[in-house]
Amino acid sequence: EVQLVESGGGLVQPGGSLRLSCAASGFTFSRDWMRWVRQAPGKGLEWVADIKGDGSAKNYVDSVKGRFTISRDNGKNSLYLQMNSLRAEDTAVYYCARGWYWAFDMWGQGTMVTVSS
């Protein structure tokens, strides 16, 4: 069974940092693009970043460029999102998702990030 489990969310002050993790199982992790998507309270989904299976290509939404870094460890079947210089507008549920046929076919349950003083 394909499973994605996020962790690492929590409460952080503006300007602070957090590292999100996503543990994958049930598929050949190293073969697939992996993505982070977030949903702020009362808002729609927003794609944040993605990374190619071998880690050779990464893309980011403009609002997080220079602050967030996506990475992966294929030996540990894990995806990461290092978030620095956090802002109140980064408050959201963060999901990891698998890229499949130009879509996002499997999602985790999400982890909540709250940026507040």
Partner 1 sequence: QSALTQPPSASGSPGQSVTISCTGTSSDVGGYNYVSWYQLHPGKAPKLMLFEVSKRPSGVPDRFSGSKSGNTASLTVSGLQAEDEADYHCCSYAGSSWVFGGGTKLTVL
Sites of contact with partner 1 (CB under 8 A): 4, 35, 37, 43-47, 50, 59, 61-62, 95, 97, 100-110
The minimum distance between CB 84 and partner 1, in angstroms, equals 21
Secondary structure of residue 48 in the 3-state scheme: strand
Question: CB-wise, 21 or 75, nearer to partner 1?
Answer: 21
Question: CB-wise, 101 or 117, nearer to partner 1?
Answer: 101
